[in-house]
Amino acid sequence: MRLKIISADRLGITQEMLSVIVENGWNLTSVEMFTYHTYVHIRDRGVSFDIIRKKLVAIPDVKDVIKIELCPDEVKRKHLDTIVSKLPDPILDIDISGQIIVANIEAEKILGLTKDRLEGHNICDIIPLNLHDVLVESPPAIDICFANKHFLIDITPIYANSKVNGAVLLLQSPESLGKKISKIQSYTGENIQSIIGHSIKIKNIQQQTLRFAKLDFPVLITGETGTGKELFARALHESGKRVNAPFLAINCATLAENLLESELFGYAPGAFSGAQKNGKLGLFEMAENGTVFLDEIGEMSIYLQAKLLRFLQDFTFRRIGGTTEIKVNVRIVCATHRNLEKMTTKGLFREDLYYRLNVLSIDLPPLRERSEDIHDLVNFFSTKACEQINIDQPKFTHSAMLRLSKFQWPGNIRQLQNVIFRTLALVDKSIIDDTDIYFSTSTTDQELELLCDENISSLEYAIEKFEKNILSTLYVTYPSTRKLAHRLSVSHAKISRKLNKYGIIK
């Protein structure tokens, strides 16, 4: 029975209340005192409220006694428990002796124990921890293994009289960390419906992506630079059963071999000089139940290719410098602009890894082979550009669209986006004509791409490809064989043969 006693603020009145309770032999569980109000919890089913009220009201300056549901501290505890239970991360609150005071619902779930098995028990009896590492002023994050699962524990000390008197422990599984990183990496609206284009080629690939999303095999996405390989990888993940788990991406071409290895597999505490004291989780651990996207897989070293192949056998691995076998459940999606099949014949890519990754494949067409999608892409990019630049969206004339459609786009969709953004940033017009479009005046990027193209098998092929690019680009500005022949100082017949040869005119 919980009671609120309303009284005057008189010296000794609380003592008189307690004396009445003691004299009557009532079992007092708790008492809370405030000015004008005293709250008591009496555990005595043999006495009625009317009797208790009559005896307490008889005390001078006691004005009333009211039965209540909960005392103030109990109300606070209920609210605190509700707040803590709604937190998405597992939390344990411990005192100076290591006894668990509060454990939220997420902590129960992740540890597989009920609240009764947690609260009131010493944390060292449940989790392999050393209190000397936990109850300090600047505790490090601790990596522990419990029930064959790894957890990273973030510790916040609780102080009393400037001394550590307890701590709040935040338990994070690799998967939960992966989800947070995935949210940081992700872009909005990256699903199969967000892929722009109505051409037959792109529609077929969209359907293929949806079919592959239902399967759980590795996928290899190929295509030239700028064709949107990561967009399709994300759409593949978003359309599959792993959608609620992390999607973690890494570019294999941007990191040195040892850094890429530690990013993928993580490392144990003290694995090497300069390593984090508590070790590091790798992407494969953090992507548990989700997808790991390995972009530019063709740039991975032979050593890491062998390690990745070993991982793909049974999805188990050891962290660098570690001794514990870790098993994960992830889907691998890879992408490359290189010809991996040719690389295998040259010994640059492991043949066994190639066949392990190329179970399902998606080949993205270059933009020049899906020119009917350029109109939709231009509208999309111009809308985004205008929002960023804060201008009204201009209209592209038919001749402008024709010029954009006939351009060869060696940089594909990424290059188109850059051209649209550059044009709208530099041209202050409500109508954009073909002469207003700002293509890059430098051919350095095209030359570099030509030199790095793995498909180039001979000097003759390289010359023909360069010649085709030059003619395709200039024909937009000089849209007749005679004008183009005059521009290049060659015969009309030669230009006509070349344009027909390369399919620029039909």
**Nearest partner of 286 among 130, 143, 189, judged by Cα:** 143
Q: Is the pLDDT of residue 26 over 60?
A: yes
Q: Picking from 30-44, 64-78, 96-110, 463-477, which range would have the lowest pLDDT averaged per residue? A: 463-477
Assess whether 131 and 237 both reside in one domain. no
Q: Outline where DSSP puts E strands in 197-290.
A: 219-222, 247-251
- Looking at the fold, whether 373 and 482 belong to one and the same domain comes out as yes
pLDDT at 274: 67
Domain coverage including residue 484: 368-501
CA neighbours within 13 Å on the CB side: how many for 159? 5
Residue 443's pLDDT band, with cuts at 50, 70 and 90, is: very low
Write out 360-429 in H/E/C secondary structure: EEEECCCHHHCHHHHHHHHHHHHHHHHHHHCCCCCEECHHHHHHHHHCCCCCHHHHHHHHHHHHHHHCCC
Q: Pull the structure tokens for residue 304.
A: 């890491």
What pLDDT score was predicted for residue 388? 86
Which of these three, 71, 102, 129, is where a domain ends?
Answer: 71
One domain for residues 350 and 387: no
Distances (CA, A) of 205 to 188, 196, 229, 362, 483: 21, 12, 12, 7, 39
pLDDT tens digit sequence for 225-275: 889 999 999 999 999 999 988 999 999 988 889 999 999 998 887 777 766
Domain count, the chain: 4
Residue type, position 404, single letter: L
* Domain match, 98 and 56 both: no
Alpha carbon distance 443, 421 (integer Å): 19
Residue 227 tokens, joined: 């064709």
Q: Of 131, 150, 172, which marks where a domain is finished?
A: 172
pLDDT, position 445: 46
Q: Can you give the CATH number for the domain in which 409 is found?
A: 1.10.8.60
CA atoms within 13 Å, Cβ hemisphere of 301: 11
Share of the chain above pLDDT 70, in %: 91
Give the tens place of pLDDT for each residue, 196-205: 889 999 999 9
Residue type, 194: S
Token pair recorded at residue 118: 């947690």
pLDDT band at 440 (very low <50, low <70, confident <90, very high): low
The helix/strand/coil state of 494 is helix
CATH code: domain of residue 54: 3.30.70.260
* Final residue of a structural domain among 332, 363, 394: 363
Same domain, 481 and 403: yes
For tokens 């188109």, what's the residue?
Answer: 416
Share of the chain above pLDDT 90, in %: 41
- Rounded Cα distance between 367 and 196, Å, is 12
Is 50 exceeded by the pLDDT of residue 119? yes
Give Cα separations from 493 to 252, 298, 405, 483, 490 (angstroms): 48, 43, 25, 12, 9
* Sign of the dihedral defined by the CA atoms of residues 455, 459, 461, 465, in that order: positive
**DSSP β-bridge partners for residue 163:** 160
User: Residue 375 has what pLDDT?
Assistant: 93
Residues 372 and 424 in one domain: yes
Q: What is the pLDDT of residues 82-100, one digit of tens each?
A: 887 777 778 889 999 989 9
- Asked whether residue 77 is assigned to any structural domain, the reply reads no
Do 61 and 95 reside in the same domain of the chain? no
Q: Is the pLDDT of residue 413 over 60?
A: yes
Residues 7 and 36 sit within 8 Å (Cβ to Cβ) = yes
Domain containing 244 — which CATH number?
3.40.50.300
Residues 9, 31: one domain?
Answer: yes
Q: Which residue intervals of 153-245 are DSSP H helices?
A: 174-185, 200-213, 229-238
Confidence of residue 452 (pLDDT cuts 50, 70, 90): very low
Strand order in the sheet with 91-95: 100-103, 91-95, 163-172, 149-160, 142-146
Cα gap 480→496, rounded to integer Å? 9
Residues 101 and 55 in one domain: no
Q: Residue 217: which pLDDT band, with cuts at 50, 70 and 90?
A: very high
Rounded CA-CA distance 138/143 in Å is 16
Q: Would residue 76 count as lying in a domain?
A: no
